[in-house]
Structure formats: structure tokens, C-alpha cells
Amino acid sequence: MHVGVLAIQGDFEKHIRSLQSLDSPPQTSEVRTVEDLAAIDRLIIPGGESTTVGLLLKRYGLGDAIQARAKDGMPIWGTCMGMIMLAKQVEGREQFSLSLLDITVKRNAFGAQVHSFEAPVEVKGLDEPVLGVFIRAPIVTSLGDEVETLATYQDKVVAVKQGSILGTSFHPELTADTRLHEWFVRI
């Protein structure tokens, strides 16, 4: 198993550390090029700034390559900005997205950086809540028929799954809890 973390911008190092701390850690690497993407089995798209990352994915052909790998069944997990990049639509914005999750997202739905917070989030399939770290976090405002809601916070959808594509509004990589990373590796 070889898990890559998109390393264009954002908190990619934290995801790599979380993956490396698993009981049976997978091989991990940073993904910056189409060639890097071709060498992995799974991809995590971390938090960051979606407009910048979208422009870079488009400019260097990595967006097309990610879409092709997803169509071939490669599991992909987007956290925060990563979920925005996976969405079919971004509310009120014209920006590049991979359109791999049949969802509409609203950016910064809980407010600006100063409104960041942590809260327990019950995730479908896990016995105990995870600590959700919400930093300028998006929410899902509409879901396609094939999208499963995995978690809500204050009646807002904050985690979804469609086939082998997963999106979370929050940052599990910023906690010591690796259950979501373990789950992603097993998809």
C-alpha cells in the first residue's frame, strides 16, 4: 500500500505523520507531479487555500491526472480545502474543482480564521466521536443521491463518502486520533 499526500500547499506533513504513526503504516510520499501520482495507490488532499491549489492543479495537469485515477477507482480523501477541491460545486464562487464528489460546499461556513474551534464529532462507523478541528471549514449544502453523510455538526454536514471518495470539513491530522486515517487506508 502506497498513500500519497498532495504536497502543493497546506498541512500535508501532518497527514504523513498520522499515516506513519499507524500500527501498520503504509508507504507514504508527497505528491507534486503527475509522475508522483502515478506511483501511489491512494491520495489525501489536505487543507490549504483552494483557489491557489486549484490554479496549480489545472496549470500542471495534475487535476486531470487525479480525475483519471479516481475514475479508475483510486480512493481519495479530502480534508477541509481538500473536500472543497473534490466538490462538484462551490457555493457563490467560480473556481477550479475536481468534481469527484456530487456535493455543493460552502467555504468558510463557520467563519474566519479567528472563529476556528474544536468539537467532538460523531462519525458513522466509529464507536467514539473524533475531535473535529474546524479551521475556516466548509460545510456540505447539498448532496447527490449516491453521497452518504458520515457526520454532521450542529445539523451541518461535515463528512461525506461517495464510493471510494471521502471528504471531511475538519482536520483529523491535527489530533493524535488516527482512526480516520486507518479507515481510509482500509477502503
- pLDDT at position 134 is 95
Q: d(Cα 155, Cα 158) in Å, to the nearest integer?
A: 9
- pLDDT at position 135 is 92
Q: What's CA 159's distance to the chain center, in Å?
A: 9
**pLDDT tens per residue across all 187 residues of the chain:** 999 999 998 789 999 999 999 999 999 999 999 999 999 999 999 998 888 898 899 988 999 999 999 999 999 999 999 999 999 999 988 888 999 999 999 998 887 777 789 999 999 999 999 999 999 999 999 999 999 999 999 999 999 999 999 999 999 999 999 999 999 999 8
- pLDDT at position 11 is 82
Contact 158, 168 (CB under 8 A): yes
Q: Which of 146, 171, 181, 182 is catalytic?
A: 171
- pLDDT at position 28 is 97
Q: d(Cα 126, Cα 168) in Å, to the nearest integer?
A: 14
80 flagged as catalytic: yes
- pLDDT at position 94 is 83
Q: Which three cell numbers stand for residue 72?
A: 479508475
173 flagged as catalytic: yes
- pLDDT at position 177 is 96
2 flagged as catalytic: no
Q: Which of 15, 35, 49, 80 is catalytic?
A: 80
Q: d(Cα 15, Cα 163) in Å, to the nearest integer?
A: 22
Q: d(Cα 129, Cα 79) in Å, to the nearest integer?
A: 17
- pLDDT at position 145 is 97
Q: Which of 2, 94, 118, 173 is catalytic?
A: 173
Pick from 116, 153, 114, 109: nearest CA to 133? 116
Which domains are seen in the chain, by residue range? 2-186 (3.40.50.880)
Q: The whole model's pTM is what?
A: 0.95
Contact 1, 27 (CB under 8 A): yes
